[in-house]
Structure 1
Amino acid sequence: MISTAPLRWAAPAALFGAAGLAHLLRPAGFDAIVPRALPGRARTWTNVSGALELALALGFTVPAARPATARAAVALLLAVWPANGQMALDAWRGGSGVRRAVTTARLPLQVPLIRLVARAGR
């Protein structure tokens, strides 16, 4: 029987790695969804979240670090949930029907993502 254990941490590592790179290589789109209530520049928040996502991706690859990495990843996902809400609000204020649907659907999809990440720490 093939073990699925590597998939438990590989998927979150890949997701966080891709997201971190996207934040750092194409920051403008992420700057636009930083909640306006946060202090400081949006680019700072984008860069910090990108760096954190890359650190989490790396953390998932280290067996001893996975439990702490999973807890930190869940915390980050909860912390950035307001940005997803901001993106949905912005889409409803002037986006296409497809953009509205995608950004609205993304909000509840955060729940299974959080579960996936939490399982990766076991």
Structure 2
Amino acid sequence: MTSVVHRLKRPILYLMGPAYVVAGVLHFVVPDLYAQIIPPIFPAPLALVYLSGLAEIAVGVGLLVPRTRYYAAWGTVALLLAVYPANIYMATSGVVIDGMPGGGDPSAVVRWGRLPLQGVLILLALWYTKPKPESA
């Protein structure tokens, strides 16, 4: 079982890295979409959207480079923790998100589903902070 899981580690990495890059780029393509879910307690929501977009691009690229993977994985954990308040706000505030692709507002399932998904993404990032197991 362990060897099956470890065989998935590389393909998951090659999904994660580009996914973070794409997500980061989208922060620049549709920044107002992301700014809507920044809790009002935080200042300068648009600046935070751009900053988190840059961070996502950086960790996405960093995950794909073996020399930076360890640090990028820890950066991913930090990033996911930093943006968690936005996911909580989106789930609990009832904010209507204007400009969603397809014209619809995310369902309650999507809003609340993002919260445990964040935990899964953190666990995946932590997986890349561990050294490779020794071969027998």
TM-score (norm 1): 0.86
Query: What are structure 2's unaligned runs of at least 5 residues?
Result: 98-103, 131-136
CA contact (8 A) 2:18 2:60 kept: yes
CA contact (8 A) 1:9 1:121 kept: no
- Report deviation, 1:17: 0.9
**What one-letter code is carried by the residue in structure 1 that aligns with 2:114?**
R
CA contact (8 A) 1:66 1:120 kept: yes
Question: In structure 2, what is the equivalent of residue 112 of structure 1?
Answer: 120
Q: C-alpha distance in 2, partners of 1:18/1:98? A: 20
CA RMSD of aligned residues (A): 2.4
- Report deviation, 1:15: 1.9
1:64 counterpart SS class: coil
1:33 and 1:58, CA in 2 relative to 1: closer, same or farther beyond 3 A?
same
Question: In structure 1, what is the equivalent of residue 42 of structure 2?
Answer: 38
Q: Which has the larger radius of gyration?
A: 2
1:86-117 Cα deviation digits (max 9, x unpaired): 111233x6688961221011111111111111
1:26 and 1:66, CA in 2 relative to 1: closer, same or farther beyond 3 A?
same
Over the matched positions of the two proteins, sequence identity in percent amounts to 31
- 1:69-84 aligned within 5 A: 69-84=72-87
- 1:87-106 aligned within 5 A: 87-91=90-94, 99-106=107-114
Question: How many residues are matched?
Answer: 120
1:23 and 1:98, CA in 2 relative to 1: closer, same or farther beyond 3 A?
closer
CA contact (8 A) 2:76 2:125 kept: yes
Higher relative contact order (CA 8 A, sep 6+): 1
- Report deviation, 1:83: 0.3
Q: C-alpha distance in 2, partners of 1:87/1:65? A: 32
1:63 counterpart SS class: coil
Query: What are structure 1's unaligned runs of at least 5 residues?
Result: none
